[in-house]
Structure 1
Amino acid sequence: MQQFPPFWSDPISHLLRQQPDVPVLYLSPQILQATARRFRGGFPGLVTYAVKANDRPEVLDNLVAAGIDTFDVASPSEMAAARRAFPQAVLHYNNPVRSRDEVAAGIANGVASWAVDDPTELSKLADVPKSAELAVRIALPVKGAAYDFGAKFGATPDLAVELLRRVDQGGWHASVCFHPGTQCEDPRAWAAYITEAARICERAGVTLARLNVGGGFAADRCGKVPDLNAVFSTIRAVTDRVFTARTPALLCEPGRALVAEAFTLATRIKGMRAGGRTIYLNDGIYGGLSELRDMGLSRRIRVIAVDGTMRQGAPIPRVVFGPTCDSLDRLPDGLVLPADAQDGDYVLFDGLGAYSVAISTDFNGYGLHDIVSVQRLTGNRNLPA
């Protein structure tokens, strides 16, 4: 069931009127739907959504409204979330390590596509209907991403050849999938994976109907818009070149790049020390800012006074702590905030829709829970082209 809550005009109008003392995530449905349409129009194949990035009903409902009907799920809970948003949703279960109970849940939910990267895990899928697709997930030592998923998931090329043959001989629809790593901006990463996928298929003697080129598409964290069109063009061109017998249909599973730009996270300064060089926010690494610890600081920050004016003092690097009593609740040093920032000001982080509310905790009674829909995100760029 689609849920579209009442709109405010923009984050600042809500902050001035409500004066929230808890972190708030502002959603622009217009930007979210425009981003989904951009992917669907630009990517040369099927666009699915990786639910893990943000599984809130507001997100799933707006993506369905924009034409997304296939979802990359990693758990029975995510299957249920996708089906609540769209009862006819097509489910792709691309987490390649599952308990037997999770496999049974996937079968019961009619999962259409499964990923596999190990013989033991393949044996667990014996009862999966032959009408399903089984995609062999590969891993390569490819650079270009903020961090690589290959240490956890993915078969070597030699193992992938064996698995692909077993999938094909087992009567399932054989496919190959990969993930180039999160926040990947280098089209050559996709080119390397696609080229190796073609070699694996040739060695295995299996013709693919479909190739899943994963997620990993980058979002803007520092004010530079990633060139997704260059990635899309590379994917199409390399696939056409290296698959000589039959060019497989393509699909992708973006998460971050679909939802990040549609959100702004508003936090508040709850204390200042050391002459303002140390700042305490009402959110931190146990909340919506958790990714900053591993991904690095965002540069897309605004500081708003309680009267709505923007702080414009000289930028000064700060030490920033979150609200909990844990001393580990500290952002990477050097977050740049205006010199005139004061206790009680709001600190807004633009482009923070992915892996914010999704991995926020309630540690010490804090956490990110509130999502407010707005007509526009003041200070963010215009809608995606």
Structure 2
Amino acid sequence: MQVLEIVRPSSPTEDFRGQYGELNCYSSIRGAIEAEASNDSVHLFFPDVLQDKAAEFLTGFRGRSMYAVKANPHAEVLKTLYTAGVRDFDVASIREVELVAGLLPGAKLYFMHPIKSRQAIQRAYMMGVRAFAFDHMDELNKILEETGYAEDLELFLRLGVSAKGAAYELSGKFGAPLDMAPMLLSRARQVAMKLGVSFHVGSQCMRPGAFSEAILQAAAVVGHAGIKLDVIDVGGGFPVAYPGMEPPALDSYFQTIHSALDMHGFADAETLCEPGRALVAESGAVAARVELRKGTDLYLNDGTYGALFDAGVPEWPFPLSLITADGRATLDETSFYRCFGPTCDSCDKMEGPFPLPVDVAEGDWVIFEHLGAYGHTMQARFNGFYSETMVAISRETDTPNTISVPTLVAAPTLIA
């Protein structure tokens, strides 16, 4: 994890509110950008938004909500979630184990990556991790061997379910085939203190029904295995509202899941979910400065090798706003732009099209909103371009100088 560089304003401004943990805290995005005077993009964190979203999961989902750390492992994000009541964390690597265990000693960690190195399994167990996922007999044997055939293991069989309606389909890499799953469950039942199944319907799932279909498939596997299941993990995939992508309300997902669990024999089983994007996306944004304009091509100080990978590679349609360099009002007319990142690689581009005012100019800051997930964490250091500047923005954010951009883009094609 990158070390955060703390840059305090040389002279206090009316927007500066002090510290939020290790972050400088401001009352406005413009005030933050001007005070930080960063040559790099600026990561914006809205802790109040994150607290509200955590409360929505903790009160709406009837089981335990464990945060998928991969979405955003920043220390202040993790601490904010813990303060809000999140106590369970889905970790995928030994570095994530060490990060969360060192920062939040009271958290419970679930090593839910289905394939782990022997060293990672052994180290995690020594650090107190007892919950491990697997999707193959060889992986189960690795867990048993590297934990010394421990009798206090919580084992989760990751199922390769089939569900439609996700923007990112995740069944191609992980998940036990359903015809093999009963045998794997039976073997795990012999050695597990607590036995569970897990699945993932895909990221940004737009259909609540995908969860009920997956639960039905899990019930069939458990029935064929003829064993008692202690816990079911319904995974992540809860969606966020992006331009052109208006999902049902989060509560409808919870109701669908709860009904399916009761209908298919899991009413008494412990229940988990793994929100990542849905928890943190709306609590973050990235401000990228326009370094040069060539017609409808904008050259930014961030790109696909940085926080804007999702804007370029899968061409994710983030909400946009604009902060002008000089505080000027922009023209009402909107144009469509293509954006380029700062590296020398010609692949560092974002086709968009991105709707912005026709008079956007060098020095203006484009705000990519809802980028609290997979923004800060996706940064590389290629060509020396990256940003360690993150600031907190208080709930009392004043945005009269932030120009909202109308939604004029369509959603990406969903994978069936």
Q: TM-score range by the shorter chain?
A: over 0.9
Match of 2:53 in 1: 35
Asked if 1:352 is matched to 2:374, the reply is: no
Tell me the distance in 1 between the aligned counterparts of 2:342 and 2:200.
35
Q: Secondary structure at the match of 2:240?
A: coil
Asked if 1:191 is matched to 2:212, the reply is: yes
Amino acid at match of 1:147: Y
Change in Cα spacing, 1:380 to 1:280, as seen in structure 2 (3 Å) is: closer
Match of 2:273 in 1: 252
Identify unmatched segments of 5+ residues in structure 2: 1-19, 405-416
Structure 2 counterparts to residues 53-92 of structure 1, below 5 A: 53-92=71-110
Match of 1:231 in 2: 253
Match of 2:386 in 1: 367
Structure 2 counterparts to residues 242-281 of structure 1, below 5 A: 242-243=264-265, 247-273=268-294, 276-281=295-300
Tell me the distance in 1 between the aligned counterparts of 2:228 and 2:309.
42
Match of 1:14 in 2: 32
Q: Which moved more, 1:365-374 or 1:344-353?
A: 365-374
Match of 1:137 in 2: 158
Tell me the distance in 2 between the aligned counterparts of 1:45 and 1:100.
31
Could you tell me the TM-score, scaled by structure 1's length?
Answer: 0.93
Structure 2 counterparts to residues 305-324 of structure 1, below 5 A: 305-309=324-328, 311-324=330-343
Q: Secondary structure at the match of 2:272?
A: strand
CA shift, 1:200, in A, is 0.7
Amino acid at match of 2:362: D
Change in Cα spacing, 1:326 to 1:171, as seen in structure 2 (3 Å) is: closer
Change in Cα spacing, 1:175 to 1:86, as seen in structure 2 (3 Å) is: same
Moved over 4 A (4+): 377-381
Asked if 1:288 is matched to 2:310, the reply is: no
CA shift, 1:356, in A, is 0.6
**Cα deviation digits, residues 24-70 of structure 1 (max 9, x gap):** 11111111111111110111110111110110101011011001111
C-alpha contact 2:315 2:352 (8 A) present in aligned 1: no
Tell me the distance in 2 between the aligned counterparts of 1:79 and 1:367.
25
Matched residue count: 377
Match of 2:243 in 1: 222
Change in Cα spacing, 1:242 to 1:306, as seen in structure 2 (3 Å) is: same
Identity %: 36
Match of 2:17 in 1: none
C-alpha contact 2:46 2:283 (8 A) present in aligned 1: yes
CA shift, 1:16, in A, is 3.2
Change in Cα spacing, 1:365 to 1:371, as seen in structure 2 (3 Å) is: same
Tell me the distance in 2 between the aligned counterparts of 1:186 and 1:133.
30
C-alpha contact 1:304 1:310 (8 A) present in aligned 2: no
